[in-house]
């Protein structure tokens, strides 16, 4: 025997279904806005690109393609008319490589973390602190389509010291300012604060002769995608059980 509350709910639904069809209908899950990386296979891997207004993390060892992938993404943001910032914790960015990847340097704010009086002598933790302060300031100011926090040359034992409260605060700031915050590192530091996370690894080096490197191949795996699309009402399996991988190439001229 249905309860009185159940009968009342059914009566209300029937009276509203003709006048207000969507009143008691669960809204479909919205797909988060993304910005393409400019690399077709990576965009397909990430359901369109890196999420807007969120933190994305790109990890991998040295020469794994993480910087080349980020250059491609920044070039796409700038091509859309957005300004971008690159917070360089180790002062290791190569502008020529960025320009070769079609990054318009005039639209890229390069924040170099170093000792102003004695460049290249600042201690790693001091540089990391400068990078964190700069990133925090840029996120709060707003107006950037993408901000890259480059911790690729930061020792993992230093990167893991960044408080989780910092990542959580930056996640909120990125959402408020609609900025893509991309974190580069040798390992994952942001944990649950990252909306998307990809892991890069070197695959193969293609040489032209004995002295000229022509092309590098990299493999990329998706480790987290919080805003993945739904199909038929079913969400994709958790990241831990998702094993698809893809590879992409970046031309390198001597």
Domain ranges of the chain: 34-251
Distance (Å, whole) CA 120 – CA 186: 21
Distance (Å, whole) CA 227 – CA 29: 9
Beta-bridged to residue 224, according to DSSP, are 197
How much is the pLDDT for 32?
77
Distance (Å, whole) CA 231 – CA 28: 11
Residue 241: pLDDT over 50: no
Query: How many CA atoms lie within 13 Å of 225's alpha carbon, on the beta-carbon side?
Result: 29
Task: Give pLDDT tens digits for 136-184.
Answer: 999 999 999 999 999 999 999 999 999 999 999 999 999 999 999 999 9
C-beta separation of 191 from 162 below 8 A: no
Residue 143 to residues 81, 146, 179, Cα–Cα distance (Å): 12, 9, 8
Phi and psi torsions of 201, nearest 5°? -150, 145
Task: Give pLDDT tens digits for 39-77.
Answer: 888 888 888 999 999 999 999 999 888 999 999 999 999
Task: Give pLDDT tens digits for 76-112.
Answer: 999 999 999 999 999 999 999 999 999 999 999 999 9
pLDDT-derived band at 244 (thresholds 50, 70, 90) equals: very low
Nearest alpha carbon to residue 188 among 140, 222, 141? 222
CATH no., domain 34-251: 3.40.50.300
């Amino acid at each position: 025997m249905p309860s009185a509350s159940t009968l009342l709910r059914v009566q209300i639904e029937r009276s509203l279904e003709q006048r207000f069809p969507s009143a008691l209908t669960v809204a479909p899950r919205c797909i988060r806005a993304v910005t393409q990386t400019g690399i077709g296979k990576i965009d397909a891997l990430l359901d369109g690109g890196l999420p807007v207004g969120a933190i994305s993390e790109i990890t991998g060892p040295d020469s794994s393609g993480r910087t080349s992938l980020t250059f491609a993404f920044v070039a796409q943001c700038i091509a859309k008319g957005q300004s971008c910032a690159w917070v360089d914790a180790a002062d290791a960015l190569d502008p020529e490589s960025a320009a070769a990847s079609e990054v318009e340097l005039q639209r890229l704010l390069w924040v170099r973390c170093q000792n102003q009086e004695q460049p290249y002598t600042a201690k790693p933790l001091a540089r990391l602190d400068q990078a964190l302060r700069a990133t925090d300031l840029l996120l709060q100011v707003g107006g950037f389509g993408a901000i890259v926090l480059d911790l690729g040359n930061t020792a993992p034992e230093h990167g893991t010291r960044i408080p989780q409260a910092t990542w959580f605060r930056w996640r909120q700031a990125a959402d408020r300012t609609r900025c893509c915050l991309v974190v580069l590192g040798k390992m994952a530091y942001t944990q649950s604060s990252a909306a998307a996370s990809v892991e890069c690894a070197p695959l193969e080096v293609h040489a032209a002769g004995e002295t000229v490197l022509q092309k590098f191949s990299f493999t990329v795996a998706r480790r987290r995608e919080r805003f993945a699309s739904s199909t038929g009402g079913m969400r994709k399996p958790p990241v831990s059980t998702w094993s698809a991988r893809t590879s992409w190439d970046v031309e390198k001229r001597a």
